[in-house]
Structure 1
């Protein structure tokens, strides 16, 4: 049996999954890489091995429970155990709710929610027998503050957060003290994800600022796999302030999120034809990269204190606006 940490990662071929695989590989882990793109996985496996890790590439569609169960079995056959399982594979569709094809709506839920259910079931079946392990569910900040035009994505990510809570509760009742379930909520991340999305809005989908580096999320995933936290936001001070403020003044923050999505997540100048993106079929291997060209690392590095101050200022402004407009409170002097 290998003495290396054995890590399974779904959605490993690009973006957050790829960054996570590379980070675990640098630390000498055995990484099992799962996605729909066999060629991209083979290239990633070679890269991981050059960095000092072991790698096994297994083409997997997470909407097929049998394939996910096979992923777990083949990991056990190869390495004898599963120490970490990262549920990460996700897709999205942008469209007004009434115009979104119902099959696409269902497909997003199948990948982003049922894919996680199948992964959790496969992982925990192994982990409860071996008595240890870490399950990491990659959700989204949109699971806390949903946005317009991506209803199934936000629904699925909110449900993933609930799934994690339920699983932690059951493990606690079963006295499985050495099995953890953590949820990671990334903000907007510089990955090819937005180019892969289905889109029926008539406008090009772009990364909504502020944009952060995929390696920031990868670091967070590695950290919680070793020092578990129930839920952690992977993003800078603005993302964390947004979540905190949403819990205080939800109406104001949701109104702000709607405006920001409409103005900065969909291009105001570039039109786009209807597309299913990679919702049903994977994108090309050429786009199987960590970053998506949104300059996440550069833009992340320039925020610092300014971002903290801006986030605080926006929070106060939103709170005041909400209180001023709340029925029965607008005329009160303070």
Structure 2
């Protein structure tokens, strides 16, 4: 059963900036009531303002998804004010750009608590409400790094790998139960978000996404589609995501060597970074008025607004039908040519 994405209640975590912000706007544009969960007050207020100015309904809720009780309380408030939750999008994360040797145990723990356990907390809050109603969709926003680790982001990659394992276990359990509640995962490429401005960093130069880079709206369209079609276990967005995940299945050792040569430089600009930048690891980067970062990062000039691969993933049936039609047309043409030659 598909979720009621055109009129129902949607929860988006990490909704104050980046992919979460763009996703919240995309759902609101379709008529959804949208609950915005994030830590930063400035970003939450701005996101809610955008939705309400466009005629939508928004409920901003300041919450740290690492706190399971706070997530549960947020879910209760959402249902009291916006009605039953139809879609829950887990997207909130934090990261550290640094080698393993320069990342502290506390930083590893914090990244895992937000980026992995935050998804667990959100999923459990959603399930507690969806399962008794026997409907709803949970979307886990993943990354190409869910299936392939890269240097300088070991904590984030580990958390994304954990999410994928959690997602696979959950899907098996839901299938076993025979419930109409569905869970799916969207694997994203590098996205132009404020992550690269306010992420904690130990790198000598400023962080950047690994090219090719896509705009957050590309990710948002993929998430909305996945919520509408949650029966598929996983969606890949961007050709580089498909190439990375498939390449790692075929030749992981080769990718190890390739990333050892290119993975450091490709994640840094030519600009020097602030020494020991703590970023938004412990405190939100948009806590104070005037610190809202919006959905986009600093890389608009190179970010792509469309993805042919993502479009193809959403229209597999159409492409298959076109292929069958082309094949059938070819067979008929050859048959007609044969009769003419006779």
TM-score (norm 1): 0.85
* Native 8 Å contact 2:42 2:291 kept in 1: no
C-alpha distance in 1 between matches for 2:12 and 2:160: 18
Aligned positions of 1:35-46 closer than 5 A: 35-46=38-49
Give the aligned partner of residue 304 of structure 2. 300
Q: CA deviation at 1:270?
A: 2.4
Larger radius of gyration: 2
Q: CA deviation at 1:199?
A: 0.9
Give the aligned partner of residue 142 of structure 2. 139
Gaps of 5+ in 2: 1-5, 310-342
Q: 1:243 is matched with which residue: 239, 242, 245? A: 245
C-alpha distance in 2 between matches for 1:301 and 1:107: 32
Give the aligned partner of residue 55 of structure 2. 52
Give the aligned partner of residue 117 of structure 2. 114
Q: Secondary structure at the match of 1:232?
A: strand
Give the aligned partner of residue 15 of structure 1. 18
Q: 1:198 is matched with which residue: 190, 197, 200? A: 200
Q: Secondary structure at the match of 1:208?
A: coil
Give the aligned partner of residue 257 of structure 2. 255
After TM superposition, where is structure 1 displaced by more than 6 Å over at least 4 residues in a row?
302-305
Higher relative contact order (CA 8 A, sep 6+): 2
* Native 8 Å contact 2:214 2:306 kept in 1: no
How many positions carry a matched residue from both structures?
300
C-alpha distance in 2 between matches for 1:265 and 1:18: 23
Q: Secondary structure at the match of 1:41?
A: helix
With over 3 angstroms needed to count, the CA separation of the structure-2 counterparts of 1:239 and 1:224, relative to structure 1, is same
What are the superposed Cα offsets for residues 256-315 of structure 1, whole Å, 9 maximum, x if unpaired? Answer: 23333211102355243112110000013534211002127x54269979xxxxxxxxxx
* Native 8 Å contact 2:215 2:305 kept in 1: no
* Native 8 Å contact 2:7 2:30 kept in 1: no
Q: 2:295 is matched with which residue: 286, 290, 311? A: 290
Give the aligned partner of residue 168 of structure 1. 171
Q: Secondary structure at the match of 2:50?
A: helix
Give the aligned partner of residue 277 of structure 1. 279
C-alpha distance in 1 between matches for 2:236 and 2:149: 15
Q: CA deviation at 1:67?
A: 0.7
2:226 matched to 1:224? yes
C-alpha distance in 1 between matches for 2:94 and 2:295: 16
* Native 8 Å contact 1:211 1:295 kept in 2: no
